[in-house]
Amino acid sequence: MTPDTVLVTGASGALGKAVLERVRAAGLRAALLLRDPAEAEAERATGGWAAAVDLLDEAAVATAVAAAVAAAERDGGRLGAALLLAGGFALESAADTDLAALRRQLDLNLATAATVVRAVLPDMLRRGDGTIVGVAAGQARRGGARAAAYAASKAALAAYLRAVDEETAAHGVRTVTVFPMGTLDTEANRRAMPAADPAGWIDTARLADVLLLAATLGPRARLREVEVHPDA
């Protein structure tokens, strides 16, 4: 049972691009919430649906999600899943991490998900169906040197999504948290760590496969939390 339209945040990143490719290859529509107005315009120029929105602006997110729901319904479908890929990473020792840096990570990794969840839930609960998928991190499970703010923000995201699941699972809305338990193999990471062997990293295409499965598995079988490890 697959949704007709999948809402995606963070689609301009390396993982987002891989996920978008998988979504479209599966024959699904994508509704993109993008930060850059030029990217949103380029997506619309190719016939796709996109809105330029600051994910920390609750009112703007609510308006954009309502428009995406309306567009899906006009086409005879539904907005059945939300893939929350937007976020950010910071590498800094705990001793050097001030409150501003901590709040920045919480904004990037928790608040950008929470505004979208709050916006999609009314429609999903009304229909009694829908899936929300968020991406945490291995550091949310085990911590990480020089990643205290990042680890805390991703752990907060995981706790938030568990709480959402507790509230909504009985009403047909599934919430899945995916934990990449290693470094993602992206061009940016290869540039940042030229001496590392990417064979021990997680392939973004394979992680995208997991995220699409989580978004489309549907009722009678479900995922709640999934760890994805490097195959090395």
Kindly report the CATH number assigned to the domain that includes residue 192: 3.40.50.720
* Structural domains in the chain (count): 1
Residues 6+ apart with CB under 8 A from 50: 31, 32, 33, 34, 39, 40, 41, 43, 44
Domain limits for position 104: 5-228
| Confidence check: pLDDT of 71 > 80 | yes
- pLDDT tens, position by position, 97-112: 999 999 999 999 999 9
The answer to whether 212 touches 26, Cβ cutoff 8 Å, is yes
CA distance 117 to 140: 20
| Confidence check: pLDDT of 1 > 80 | no
- pLDDT tens, position by position, 31-56: 999 999 999 999 999 999 999 999 99
Within the chain, residue ranges assigned H as helices are 14-25, 37-45, 58-74, 99-106, 112-127, 138-142, 148-168, 187-192, 204-216
Q: What is the pLDDT of residue 201?
A: 97
In this prediction the pTM is 0.96
| Confidence check: pLDDT of 2 > 70 | no
| Confidence check: pLDDT of 232 > 90 | no
- pLDDT tens, position by position, 133-142: 999 999 999 9
Q: What is the pLDDT of residue 129?
A: 94
Q: What is the pLDDT of residue 171?
A: 96
